[in-house]
Structure 1
């Protein structure tokens, strides 16, 4: 049997991580992997998470299964965090999942069950795993223009022109905030125009919300998602707790299905339970329970919000420092977009040969399309990266 298997395509980010580990040079810089790191290069356990886990250790008396879709208290807490009353609770079905990736996978499975002919429109570019999962599931995908490589901003006219080709029942995958991999986001006026087009075409929005709190703040980062939720008759939302709670290895995510008609909620909920049963039965609970404790305890919540804000502002300072350093070294504001982008990522617009040169000559690791993880920098490494880019002659 095994001799019938074929070698799978190499994951470029995983390959980059391996090259980084094998590099023995001091001062190497990892800007590839999409994990938050502090100034010391550590992905810390947040203070509120540590305290919640301490309380949980003292109080938890069983490790028995919860339910196929996880704890309802987790659903309620996350629906409140993401939607904040944008739609009635009875209109939202939900299922806990193994991380945001699990939520994305279950959403794609649900779409395929509901409408095997649905096409899923994805931004150019998007997170590579979106495309990989869609291809594995043999779901037709259509790319829509999103990022202007010249201006390093959203190509909104191109996006709208491509979405004009939607058919009723198609799904449009949108990043709720902090677009990965570009860092370029729609403004609320543009979001409203997208919503109007989707509703006119009879298409369904699916939102991947992986970075709430990392861009402009918890509420501002959720504003577009809330606008979509209250404006469209059916919406899917895949949300992750990996980044904003720092619980990467706990695999904590949630899939929400919103219906304008509350009578459909039970049907959606039944199908989410079915999908969980087919894929992994009961979802992980530890991270979900910790998140629930934090969101429902005023002291823990304040502790978490304060640390999350420190994290967000730290990344903004790095963006501003990077833009200023490059302007000083190049005499041009062509990299000013770095300060305007939001979240962990920006795509710098460097040719692939320059990216390779930075790795070989400077020990600076970034994805081949020049996407960098801003959180992989600190105040000391920003000037090193800026000088390497300026010296490359781009």
Structure 2
């Protein structure tokens, strides 16, 4: 029966990492996968995480299954981080998921089974896996405009126009809370207010991808889009990830939060979310969620976490600034100053696919074909070589 199976193409991003691992060039640079790197080019274990794990090692008494919806104290902290005190807990259903990707897939299955025939509107461009996740769940995908013609900033007028004229009542619009992937271009607080008004007028359900909380302006500041939407919308889905801001990539820690108009609807929605989880991965993993709950349940560890998130955010901003400066020093044919207004791990460089291929083939520098660069992969050591190569291909 397996004779007819054809080889699937490699993932556009993870496939690059596989190629990077096989590259024998000792000076190779990986700026493709969205993983934070410190000044030495390593993905560190946060200090607060280490301390939380020490506590868990001493106090943990079981490795038994969690409930379908996950660790209760973890879910309470997800609610607090995402919504603050803006929404009563009785109106929010939260399920712990295997990473932000798991949260998005649970959301996709919920949309497919409970909101049919809803369509999902994605920004153009968006994270490559968004399309695949919703298509796999059988949800129709549409796109709305996002970048301007120069691919250096937000085409806000076209974005609003698409949502106003093309979407239908009951459709779902996926919005990036902060640190837009792959562009690093975010709406302003004033623009979020206009987006919220359009969402209300068109009767859309916002699904917010919140994968980089704390990597934009700050842990609370990065929730401004969600908090603004809640002022006009009484229903919402939010997919959270703690891979980046806790450095828990391999632990797969995420959550899907559903805001309902009243406790009765939240309870009914939770029952359906549990059914979806049960037929997928059945129960979420305990360890990562326990780490997050331990950190956020201890004021000292929470303060340390805030410090470490700020350190990561500041390092990324510094590398973005140094890249712009060094490219200017090389009298590059392209002015990269537009990158300074972008936030988060990613920036849309404007490099075309041919230039990206040249960087890989001639310089062992790995960048996604769209020209997206993981700024967190830059270090003081590799930045001069990177800028020399980019200037050369330009």
Q: State the TM-score, normalizing by the size of structure 1.
A: 0.97
Q: What SS class does the counterpart of residue 285 from structure 2 fall into?
A: coil
Q: Which runs of 5+ in 1 are unaligned?
A: none
TM, length-normalised to structure 2: 0.97
> Using the alignment, how far apart are the partners of 1:330 and 1:51 within structure 2?
47
Of residues 4-13 and 182-191 in structure 1, the stretch that sits farther from structure 2 once superposed is 4-13
Contact 2:346–2:373 (Cα < 8 Å) also in 1 = yes
In 1, Cα distance between equivalents of 2:232 and 2:202: 14
On the 8 A contact 2:215/2:245 being kept in 1, the answer is yes
Q: CA deviation at 1:149?
A: 4.4
Q: Is the 8 A contact 1:69 1:96 kept in 2?
A: yes
For residues 240 and 103 of structure 1, the distance between their equivalents in structure 2, rounded to whole angstroms, comes to 8
Asked whether the 8 Å contact 1:123–1:173 carries over to 2, the reply is: yes
- Is 1:87–1:230's contact at 8 Å kept on the other side of the alignment? no
Matches within 5 A, 1:108-257: 108-164=108-164, 165-257=166-258
Contact kept? 1:232, 1:260, Cα under 8 Å: no
Aligned 1:274-285 pairs, distance under 5 A: 274-285=275-286
Report the secondary structure of 1:208's partner residue. Answer: strand
SS of 1:113's partner is helix
Q: Is the 8 A contact 1:241 1:253 kept in 2?
A: yes
Structure 1 contact 229–258 (Cα < 8 Å) conserved: no
Question: What are the ranges of 5 or more consecutive residues in structure 2 without an aligned counterpart?
Answer: none
Q: Structure 1 stretches (4+) deviating beyond 6 angstroms? A: none
Aligned residues: 393
State the alpha-carbon separation in 1 of the partners of residues 184 and 21 from structure 2.
Answer: 26
| Deviations 1:210-230 (CA, angstroms, capped at 9, x unpaired) | 000111111111111122234
The whole-number CA distance in structure 1 between the counterparts of 2:168 and 2:31 is 39
Whether the 8 Å CA contact 2:176–2:208 is kept in 1: the answer is: yes
Paired residue for 2:58? 58
* Range that drifts further, 169-178 or 25-34: 25-34
Native 8 Å contact 2:112 2:138 kept in 1: no
Structure 1 residue 66, shift from structure 2 partner = 2.3
> In structure 2, the residue corresponding to 1:218 is in which secondary structure?
coil
Report deviation, 1:196: 0.6
Looking at structure 1, the residues matched to 281 and 19 of structure 2 have their Cα atoms a distance apart, in angstroms, of 32
Q: Which position in structure 2 is the counterpart of 1:95?
A: 95
8 Å Cα contact 1:86/1:227 also seen in 2 = no
Q: Is the 8 A contact 1:86 1:230 kept in 2?
A: no
Q: How far apart are the structure 2 equivalents of 1:62 and 1:324?
A: 53
Q: Deviations over 1:332-381 (max 9, x none)?
A: 77211222111110110111111111111111110111111101111222
